Amino acid sequence: MTGQRTRVRRSQALAVTITTIALCGVTGCVTGREFRKTAGPAVRVGVTAIVNGLLDGLFAVIEPDTTTDADS
């Protein structure tokens, strides 16, 4: 990444962090608890699926299937 892109990413991350802290302070994090309670299981399933897909792909690269080519 270039220096300018890195600064933009950092400022975006800072803006998101400040916004999150401000919203949490205003609402008292009650909505955050409700969100985690409702979305938690679905997020867990999604993250598990992504990690399993990455691991399956990694093992497919490490141990490829042996195939025989008829053209060889």
Please give the pLDDT value at position 27: 56
- Give residue-wise pLDDT tens across range 51-72: 999 999 988 888 877 666 655 5
Task: Render pLDDT for 18-55 as a digit per residue (tens, 0 to 9).
Answer: 887 776 665 556 667 787 788 889 989 999 999 999 99
Q: Report whether pLDDT(8) > 70.
A: yes
| DSSP per residue, 4-49 | HHHHHHHHHHHHHHHHHHHHHHHHTTHHHHHHHHHHHHHHHHHHHH
What is the per-residue pLDDT for 12? 86
